[in-house]
Chains A and B, each alone.
Chain A
């Protein structure tokens, strides 16, 4: 470490100690200070680590957490960045806070924002990249899927030796030639048919000949065993496979990967993809199937986003929704509940939520009409938008309560006829809701995200 880096590291570490001790904060500021003093700091901080970079639109956080658990079964020292600290400053802070391991070469599993991959690879040569998926996300902030993928590739271009472990079911990850070694994971549990994605799906053009892709089997959105009937472009050979899909409930999923049965304590097909990604990294780094199984069952903590809150006897689950594909998956997941439930939709349109609420129309709320939901409540700062969305989706007025004020939403929740309640909320609406629930003593901390 150079004298400059050494000084910068010292300054950053002290600022973390100060912030952490006196202000109960300190996730990105120490990184900011350190970067200011030495812009190349990541080079010296990351030099001694085997780095795994996890990026993509959805599933970064859970994939990162699961990968840490999986690798923890075999490797003694694993560093990771806390949820949300996936930009350059947060990553620098993560390294600053790391304790020097006593033995062996440590591993760093980093969740990295799509546009920040290049800020990491400028200084660090990762051992592997994991690409989860690229979906249409709050487009006022992120732009189109092809632009997003290009940002990731700009970063990958600086690390041509790193192995890319990519979601093989997503056509975009097979659209550009890369010098890197590539391994794909995907779902291989269906007999071949011939399907097209739903009309309102993003990214269905063949990257070679620009015809509409077909699928032998589809999981959701534009993911599956795709092929182009025009030019023969098709899903690449998979290295890691989901071979069987077992029982799915809102709180658990059972499935086979390469012939071994696994169970995770969380619902949703999208989370099975996250588990499959973590499994792939584990297998890549020679963690055994038994160890992976252990990691999946042992670690309840990583699924914290779906904690159940007791509100005077109502079992309330708050789920963050931020884009159409995620929303559809959440709707599908709660639809697997065998108990009757009530539904609450809270919509805000602040910067962190995405200021354009149009995306709720890309979400398939129409599937709710098939579920027997006795009460639906809509609220939040943009309650009019979500209220009309659900009206159009066929929720009858007799079962629909409109309540903009979140304090009153809590009171309404206590009166619904079901024990179970799912609250789907955008980011700031979720924070507001948690704050109210904390103030009323239903949860301990306001910011459990």
Chain B
């Protein structure tokens, strides 16, 4: 392979429900077609995350218990993760990962648990209800339609400098109220989509990989990578 990218799989041993690891597998699948080799490393509890070491990051969803533990530990990585995001590092965050990049979320027992506030959203809970089911959204800027399966109790509200990943066509989305789903901030893509998201929406995988390539190799020509056709898988 001509190119190499270092991928941080944030808390991959704890935040890994609903097949979220499939996002790593899909990244690998499309990366190969783009002549890119991925070195994936799980960065977990009591391990350091250095922004400069990574070209791409993935942060999946987890069970309530695991997420509370991660909510504490991630505070030690807050500065470097924020640095990575602010310097246009591409990152995909799903469900619990999405919540923890924001200001706070409400845990299973009603307690308010901190995120790292790198993104300007917050997450509330809902009583005895979850948003469960198939979901379809449309991104207004690209015109792309995304398919997924949502299963979340949290209701997330976006900040002013975030755009939604898409507007809900069918399903519930971030909070069931404002018609938004997910978030985009710089090169960060957030969503509640499982399925997993990149396996059904290869376009997002392509956006992430191309962004990482351009950031790491600013003078190289990636027009071929950008032209990679993504056949429908869903």
Contacts and interface: CB of A to CB of B under 8 A. Distances in A.
Interface of A: 136, 139-140, 144-146, 196-197, 199-202, 204-205, 210-212, 324, 355-362, 366, 384-385, 387-389, 391-393
A360 B149 CA distance: 13
Given A388-B233, A392-B25, A358 B195 contact: yes
Interface stretch (B58-66, B165-173, B179-187): B58-66
B151 A140 contact: yes
A358 B63 contact: no
A358 B18 contact: yes
A200 B16 contact: yes
Interface stretch (B6-14, B49-57, B77-85, B210-218): B6-14
B66 A356 contact: no
A205 B26 CA distance: 27
B199 A388 contact: yes
Interface string B33-69: 0000000001011100000000000000001111001
Contacts of B9: 199
Interface of B: 9, 12-14, 16-22, 25-26, 28-29, 42, 44-46, 63-66, 69, 132-134, 149, 151, 194-196, 199, 233-234
Contact of A199 (B16, B65, B132): B16
B19 A201 contact: no
Contact of A204 (B13, B17, B29, B64): B13
Contacts of A136: 17
Given A140-B151, A211-B45, A212-B44, A201 B22 contact: no
B87 to A, nearest CB: 26
Given A204-B13, A204-B14, A385-B234, A360 B19 contact: yes
B12 A384 contact: no
B21 A356 contact: no
A358 B198 CA distance: 11
Given A144-B65, A146-B65, A211-B45, A200 B21 contact: yes
Given A140-B151, A361-B19, A361-B199, A355 B63 contact: no
Given A200-B21, A384-B234, A357 B65 contact: no
Contacts of B64: 144, 146
A196 to B, nearest CB: 8
A200 B18 CA distance: 11
Contacts of A355: 132-134, 149
A212 B45 CA distance: 8
B65 A212 contact: no
A366 B18 CA distance: 18
A384 B21 CA distance: 19
11 contacts: A144-B17, A199-B21, A199-B42, A200-B13, A205-B69, A212-B13, A324-B19, A356-B149, A385-B199, A385-B233, A392-B26
A141 to B, nearest CB: 10
A210 B42 CA distance: 18
Contacts of A144: 17, 63-65
B83 to A, nearest CB: 25
B233 A384 contact: yes
